[in-house]
Amino acid sequence: MTDYGHALELGIFPTPEVSSAERVLELAQLADVLGLDLVTVQDHPYQARHLDAWTLLSVIGARTTAVRVAPNVVNLPLRPPAVLAKSVATLDVLTGGRVELGLGAGAFWDAIEAAGGTRLSPREAVDALEEAVAVLRAMWTGEGTVRVDGRHHRVHGLHAGPAPAHPVGLWLGAYKPRMLRLTGRVADGWLPSMGYADPDALGAMNAVVDEAALEAGRAPEDVRRLYNVFPARSGGGSGLRGRPSDWPEQLAALTLAHGMSTFVLGPDDPGLVQAWAREVAPATRKLVEAERERRAPGSAPAPAEEPVEVQDEPAPGIETSRRQAATAPPFVPTPDDGRRLTGDLPWDEASRPRYPDSSDSSGYTEAQLAVPRHLVDVHDHLRTELAQVRDVVDQVARGMLSVGSARSAVNAMTMRQNQWTLGAYCESYCRVVTGHHTLEDASIFPHLRWTDPAAAPVIARLEEEHEVIHDVLDDVDRALVALVADEDGAMDRLRHVVDVLTDTLLSHLAYEERELMHPLARHGFH
């Protein structure tokens, strides 16, 4: 049994169909809001039905704030490594260090050749991949000139750079012995897929990677083990068996027995993405952490009759007993104190519909209350960032941050550094709010309208308010443009529209939490 001790990560692998482009973006935004670690897309430049991987990843990076993005995996024969290095580093800089690189030697050679690539034998393809890794590493140093005298990839005297914003993980999609040995020697991660490398084959393949790593003077744990996983088809075959509630034990076993620590699910259904993030991820982490603690030196051994993968408590999303429900702490929606900064609230709050059940949260299980609590968590993130937007605007108005510096520094800083420029910060915040509302309108609201007709009037009003808030965000954008153009009164205008945004957003969020508590606790997000 091999557990390399890596922290668990979970991501998604949506199909990049041209016909479903907006769905792909919505799934990526959903992964971001739910706190997943990765959004990855396949790269088949010759496939007419697919969006271009790098263009798609760039748009995903622009529409998200925290999730990392990666090709899964790059088709190297159609992506020259020197150009690929610049594409990766550029997107990493623009997203604040959120790009990783899955890399493959190539497949579907008839299609590659039809697209202008050079057909290679299996041995030549592995050699070309090793040369490409050398080019990528040299380019990412950002220093000096690059010289790689390969048979397939030659770079002579090219200036290195740009350097990425963080050490980009280079993961190889490998299955055969030579590729596995190359992974052990030079890669940061091994990225196989179910169906090509099923669980019963992982042990022997891991051994090849480990041996090559040791021969190269590296530790086996220097190579993260990633795994593309899929729900099993009804007709059988490989895949995760059963329902999402059955998957944590299967994933934990893959981590504890084979060291697989990053699981990338191939879903095209928002409900499955939500289950993956809300149920599968925390339950899997709990199982792995418990077993790692049991295995730690000095810990007491587990009783022989108790399998280590049996949970003492149900996973999130699984209903608890009536006794547990009675002790669940109450859910309290964020109160609205009624204070407003302006007299410009664009709706009549008194005319809002109410959900017919106005009782408290008693009687719901802890798992049921986790759903409306998650909505509050997302809303609290928006409230915190709204306060930061107001603070930045106030600093500019009081002369603590010059308008000139706010104009000239475009996307140069990140929120983690707490030094956002005025325009870049406000623009990003508006995008986060819009993305959150898009996900509600496209997925959560239709589900609640169908499962709980009593909630329909409230949902209709919330959707109307989303449209109003969208218009207010447009006003913020226009005020930013006026500030950059140095129009008279631009700062006063910006402060006013940010006040209007504050009034509308805080009013809306409090209303939504209060009226959707019962529908969400009873029916969930999807």
Helix (H, G, I), strand (E, B) or coil at 189: strand
State residue 385's pLDDT score: 72
Q: What is the pLDDT of residues 184-205, one digit of tens each?
A: 999 999 999 999 999 999 999 9
**Choices 3.40.1350, 2.60.120, 1.10.490, 1.20.120: CATH for 349-523:** 1.20.120
Q: What per-residue confidence (pLDDT) applies to 35? A: 85
For position 317, what pLDDT does the model report?
29
Assigned CATH topology for domain 9-295: TIM Barrel (3.20.20)
117: nearest Cα among 132, 107, 130, 103: 107
pLDDT score, position 26: 84
Q: Where are the domains of the chain?
A: 9-295, 349-523
CB 458 within 8 A of CB 436: no
Distance of CA 455 to the CA centre of its chain: 30
Q: How many CB atoms lie under 10 A from the CB of residue 405?
A: 12
The model scores a pTM over 0.85: no
Joined together, the tokens standing for residue 113 give 């050749």
Q: What is the pLDDT of residue 196?
A: 93
The pLDDT value recorded for residue 525 is 63
pLDDT for position 438: 65
Q: Which residues of 364-385 are buried (b: 16+ CB within 10 A; e: fewer)?
A: bbbbbbbbbbbbbebbeebbeb
Q: Find, among 361, 330, 348, the residue nearest to 507 by Cα.
A: 348
For the chain, residues with pLDDT lower than 50 are 302-327, 403-425, 427-428
> Are 9-295 and 349-523 in the same CATH fold?
no
What pLDDT is attached to residue 309? 38
Question: What's the rounded Cα separation, in Å, for the pair 256 and 76?
Answer: 32
